[in-house]
Amino acid sequence: MVVYEEDDSFVMTEQHAHAILSEDFAQNWKVELFLDKDKRDSVLYAIAQHDRSWINLDESPIWNDNTNEPYTFNDFPISIKLDFYRKGLNEIEEQNLYAALLCSIHYTGFFPGEIDDNRIIEFIQAEQRRQKRLLKILDVNEADKNFIFHYNLLKFCDNISLFVCMQEAGATGLSLHNWFKKGLAQPFSFYHEDTFKVEWKSEEEIIVHPYPFKGEFEVEIPLRKVQKAHIKEKGILGAFHDTRVQSRTVKIIPN
């Protein structure tokens, strides 16, 4: 679950909805900047489905007693999270091997640096075996520029979608989430900038520079504003399902 807090509520977006939003950004990527167009459908599938591991988990949000807020994708109990990561990756592999390869590498990238948790170590080792198997079946080289582009596109679309979902519309200054204060990493060779400048122009518009998209376009994300008083009365599960889904529409524009 993607969650941010307001004075009287928690704004909650299901992970799979955020992933579908990620695909909207990929769909609008400039055609001339998409490498290896034969793989486009597989890449779009990977981007749209990269968080399907959370579909069942987000149907039943749970409360974090330590932080006194709903669990998010960031702090969700690791044992449960890893089990559902495996489930989601297996489901993606059943549909598309190339997408599963991209998503598996994406997931193992969640755990950089030294790791002393055997549960995480076992997960990474199992996914590395999956990756090795799929690389061989697909005859793909991880160092190939097209493959690197597809992986970086997945990461970029994931991050810019989170920019929309993880903070209030129009956030600037101190209200801007820490993850985005320095912009988004720019790993594409066809731009010279180190980062993408992504910022709210207003509550309805987001500026992106450099601009990798075909033109201006709108994205829409479903969310729930779950009232704290309602949570206190019914618990997080009851309050979440009693709260109607709203839509946030944002226009993406060049600087």
**pLDDT tens-digit map of 151-165:** 999 999 999 999 999
pLDDT of residue 21 exceeding 80, the answer is: yes
| Averaged pLDDT score across all residues of the chain | 96
pLDDT of residue 174 exceeding 90, the answer is: no
Average pLDDT value for residue range 129-142: 97
Alpha helices, DSSP H, located in the chain: 15-27, 40-49, 55-59, 78-95, 97-108, 118-138, 145-165, 228-242
Percent of the chain with pLDDT over 90: 93
Tell me, what's the pLDDT at 172?
87
| Predicted TM-score of the model (pTM) | 0.95
Binned at pLDDT 50, 70 and 90, residue 8 comes out as: very high
Rounded Cα distance, 109 and 103, in Å: 10
**pLDDT tens-digit map of 186-225:** 999 899 899 999 999 999 999 999 999 999 999 999 999 9
Tell me, what's the pLDDT at 114?
75
Which pair of tokens denotes residue 64? 């974090």
85 torsion bin: left (phi>0), alpha (psi -120 to 50), beta (else): alpha
Give, as one character, the DSSP assignment of residue 245: P
Residue 19 amino acid letter: A
**pLDDT tens-digit map of 74-112:** 999 999 999 999 999 999 999 999 999 999 999 999 998
pLDDT of residue 38 exceeding 90, the answer is: yes
Residue of 226, 224, 230, 213 lying closest to 31 (CA atoms): 213
| Neighbour tally for 194: CB within 10 Å | 10
Tell me, what's the pLDDT at 113?
77
Average pLDDT value for residue range 176-183: 92
Rounded Cα distance, 23 and 53, in Å: 16
Tell me, what's the pLDDT at 175?
87
Tell me, what's the pLDDT at 115?
87
Q: Is 21 helix (H, G, I), strand (E, B) or coil?
A: helix
Binned at pLDDT 50, 70 and 90, residue 34 comes out as: very high
Domain boundaries, the chain: 2-254
Residue 227 amino acid letter: Q
pLDDT of residue 17 exceeding 90, the answer is: yes
Percent of the chain with pLDDT over 70: 100
Which pair of tokens denotes residue 157? 């679309």
Average pLDDT value for residue range 246-250: 95
Tell me, what's the pLDDT at 66?
93
Average pLDDT value for residue range 221-245: 97
